[in-house]
Chains A and B, each alone.
Chain A
Amino acid sequence: MATAKTTSGPGGSIAGAARDAILAGVVALGIFGPLVGLKTEQNMQNELVITTRWGLVAIIVGIVIAGRFLLTTTIWPAMTRNKLRDKPPATAGEVAFRARLARWFAPTGLVFLFIYPALMVYFLGFQGSLKWVDNFGIQILIYVMLGWGLNIVVGLAGLLDLGYVAFYAVGAYSYALLATHFGLSFWLLLPMAGILAAMWGIMLGFPVLRLRGDYLAIVTLAFGEIIRLVLINFRELTNGSAGISSIPKITFFGIYSFDVSAPNNFAKVWGLAMSSAYYKIFLYYLILLLALLTAFVTLRLRKLPVGRAWEALREDEIACRSLGINTTNTKLTAFALGAMFGGFAGSFFAARQGFVSPESFTFMESAVIVAIVVLGGMGSMIGVALAAVAMIGGTELLRELDFLKAVFGEGFDPDQFRMLIFGLAMVLVMIWKPRGFVSAREPTVFLTERKSISSSLVKEGHG
């Protein structure tokens, strides 16, 4: 991409761009030719045979050539022109508008989140709302909560934790095991799962937090993998890869149950038609409140000495030590708190699914959560929430692409492109906005005027 600017930048000749595009085509042919053009399939004798798809390769290469040509001749020059042109300074009206937008965005979003299930039920009925409340609402909110929890560690304290899913797993298995074996209630186990996850956070954090930079990242990744592997192999306790099923549902604070057979079933008590929608809506509000608790605590902490110390740690650890801050303890609190929220989310996840297995806690899961934090803009609560909506909601929406079957024929399965598009989106968003959606930092305290801090000054930490 950078070469385009140097070899055939804005004024570059059409011939140059054409040569460039042909070159891109050759590269594409080299890569996609064998991998797409020669499809290996097993025949009846279980032997691999090759079928060719040269037409498809020609289409892909054609798209690459055309795309590259367009980029070098039209899109990049236009982008460069835009950049070079002096932007007129924002008028007072624009500034006021932006300030209003910033002020109103969070409350409006909050109101929307609270009426969302009602809207869905109103428009789609109880059964129709199921998918939108469960697959979209609950699923996204779980990731918002995980993103906010990890944001404490990565976004505020600047410690790159690639094994966050371990704490999510600790929370999920704590609830699953204690609820199935001892029949304890969710409301007792929720705080317990959080505390257990926090304790694991401290236990794992203590030896590794003096590591710097990418070493911390790789050790946390290793711990995440170790916990998953132990869950797979410690069959006596965890039932291995088969996982734990029939995990009890959450009760409505012990007053109503959502079990169909229970005498105090919510629908029965109120004489409503049986539907799983009540439980889903209840779960929606529960995870919404849990996520908001995470947000509330984080926002409070940011304005407290410990939160400022986290951010200072992200900016310059040595300076922190010279000011008498116990950096180990400060890091540990960030790690433990992040782990605790991960644990809460985990126990909610186990209760919602009714089933947990190590499959749900792979490295990919950690990577997605880290991606949400970075895409959102490190440290920004709204940014993280937006990133979770875009990434998780977006991929869930991709499940709705069945109409494409009409275009590409019945054999076409849009679902398999879901993760491919997810990955591409991650790459593209990073190139488009390397500092994430909301990159400016809001100061925690001010003397006369609150001014946002440009992301170019904010450091990303070296952990």
Chain B
Amino acid sequence: MSSVLSSEQTPRPWTADPVLTVEHVQMRFGGLVAVNDLSFEVGRGDITALIGPNGAGKTTVFNCITGFYKPTQGMLLLKHAAGDTFLLERMPDFRISAKAKVARTFQNIRLFSGMTLLENLLVAQHNRLMLASGMTILGVLGMPSYKRAEKESIETAKFWLDKTGLTARADDPAGDLPYGAQRRLEIARAMCTGPELLCLDEPAAGLNPRESAELNTLLLDIRQMGKTSILLIEHDMSVVMEISDHVVVLEYGVKISDGTPSEVRNDPRVIAAYLGVDDEEVEKVEEQLDELTEGATP
């Protein structure tokens, strides 16, 4: 408890205008409770990191947010900058992307490997183009309005290809890209849906240090553009600590810490979760910390 108390002493800017509010979410698979009574906020314009040891339930949380699972209990409230609100737990998965504007990437990359990079990015703009093609009918007749819309979509795709450094390979199949580039393309594809919230499932997994640094730049870039907030699952602490504004820590499906990177880094429960310390020892460390803080602040 003390860790939560200590973090409440510092300002928590992400509570002011959260893009996503997760409230008391529980996800149960048969007898297994993968996520229990989880609540946290994702601040608008922030980069929020969701971390925790393997099997902590991070991807399950993502799947609840993006509609691939329906949480057993709880509420997921998404609020657009324009003020529209969506209850994600009540929406089917494709509508969460189409209407609530939540985009995601996958832990084991899911690209359309037999389609070119450009095609991948155009598929991401499906709904807009579908409207422009008059639900296909105008498109089949070859109306110029669709041609114009397609040109715009190609421009959007080009913009994101540039951002991710993939322009030179635009006409190659996605399956031919090296691993790191595939990760970047997946982010570009998600961005082409024009999301309010971008959920990245271990974007730095398998990247070398240079690629990891490029990823940081890309994510900071996206944040700077201001429209998209980012929620990411990550194991690479250098990514988490360098770029995130807010970190939520899960262990065994329960939130054990929530705060700024430096707060979380020093939270004894997080240290215990990552280093595997007994509960008793955690209490001991907490007591010591309490004594220290009491001693420090008269």
| Direct contact between A and B judged by beta carbons closer than 8 A | yes
Residues of B within 8 A of A320 (CB): 94, 123
Which chain B residues lie closer than 8 Å to A319 at the CB level? 106, 110-112
Contact, CB under 8 Å: B140 / A316: no
Q: Is the CB of B171 within 8 A of A316?
A: no
B130 in the interface (beta carbon within 8 A): yes
Nearest-neighbour CB distance to chain A for B265, whole angstroms, equals 32
A435 CB → nearest B CB, Å = 12
Q: Kindly supply a per-residue 1/0 record for chain B positions 120-134, scoring 1 wherever the CB is within 8 Å of any chain A CB and 0 otherwise.
A: 001111110110010
Q: Which of B104, B114, B116, B193 has the most CB of A within 10 A?
A: B114
Determine whether the beta carbon of B114 is less than 8 Å from that of A322.
no
Chain A residues whose C-beta falls within 8 Å of the C-beta of B171 in the assembled complex: 443, 446-451
Query: Shortest beta-carbon distance, B196 to chain A, in Å?
Result: 13
| Chain A residues in 8 Å Cβ range of B140 | 297, 300-301, 304
B104 and chain A: residue at smallest CB distance: A322
Query: What B residues does A305 contact at CB under 8 A?
Result: 122-123, 125-126, 129-130, 133, 136, 139
Verify A323–B116 contact, CB threshold 8 A. Answer: no
Q: Decide yes or no whether A325 CB sits under 8 A from chain B.
A: yes
Asked if residues A444 and B173 are in contact (CB atoms below 8 Å), the reply is: no
User: Which of A9-17, A211-219, A454-462 makes up part of the contact surface?
Assistant: A454-462
Q: How large is the interface on B (under 10, 10 to 19, 20 to 34, 35 or more residues)?
A: 35 or more
Q: How far is the CA of A306 from the CA of B123 in the complex (A)?
A: 9
The answer to the question of A326 belonging to the interface, with a C-beta cut-off of 8 Å to chain B, is yes
Residue A193, interface by CB 8 Å? no
Are A306 and B118 touching (Cβ within 8 A)? no
Residues of A within 8 A of B124 (CB): 323
- A306 to B112 Cα, complex, angstroms: 15
- CB neighbours of B154 from chain A (8 A): 445, 447
Closest chain B CB from A219 CB (angstroms): 22
Would B126 and A324 count as touching, CB distance under 8 A? yes
- CB nearest to A314 among chain B residues: B114
CA distance A130 to B189 in the complex (A): 56
- Whether B123 contacts A325 by the Cβ 8 Å rule is yes
A453 and B139 within 8 A (CB): no
Please, which residues of chain B bring their CB within 8 A of the CB of A446? Answer: 116, 118, 170-171
List chain A residues, Cβ under 8 A from B125.
305
Contact with A along B91-111 (1 / 0, CB 8 A): 001111111000110100011
Given A322-B93, A445-B154, A457-B173, answer yes or no on A309-B126 (Cβ-Cβ < 8 Å): yes
Interface contact A322-B173, CB-CB below 8 Å? no
A308 at interface by CB-CB < 8 Å: yes
Residues of A within 8 A of B130 (CB): 305-306, 309
**Knowing A304-B140, A306-B130, A308-B119 touch, does A321 contact B94 (C-beta < 8 A)?**
yes
Q: Which residues of B contact A304 (CB under 8 A)?
A: 129, 133, 136, 139-140, 146
0/1 string, A275-305, CB within 8 A of B gives 1: 0000000000000000000000100110011
Please report the C-alpha to C-alpha distance between residue A457 and residue B103 in the assembled complex, in whole angstroms. 25
Cβ-defined contact, A300 with B139, below 8 A: yes
Query: Could you tell me which residues of chain B, from 241 to 293, have a CB within 8 Å of some CB in chain A?
Result: none
Contacts of A454 in B (CB 8 A): 173
Residues of B within 8 A of A450 (CB): 171
Inter-chain CA distance A276–B193, complex, in Å, is 59
Are the C-beta atoms of A324 and B170 separated by less than 8 Å?
no
The verdict on B180 contacting chain A, using a C-beta distance below 8 Å, is no
> What are 13 A-B contacts with C-beta separation under 8 Å?
A300-B142, A305-B123, A308-B126, A315-B113, A316-B111, A319-B111, A321-B94, A322-B103, A323-B124, A324-B126, A326-B94, A443-B116, A459-B114
8 further A-B pairs in the complex, CB-CB below 8 A; given A308-B123, A324-B126, A451-B172: A305-B123, A306-B136, A315-B113, A321-B68, A322-B110, A325-B123, A453-B116, A457-B176
The interface of chain B, by Cβ under 8 A from chain A, is 66, 68, 93-99, 103-104, 106, 110-116, 118-119, 122-127, 129-130, 133, 136, 139-140, 142, 146, 150, 154, 158, 167, 170-173, 175-176, 189-190, 193
> When A and B form their complex, which 4 residue pairs have the shortest distance between CB atoms, in order from nearest?
A458-B114, A324-B98, A324-B97, A457-B175
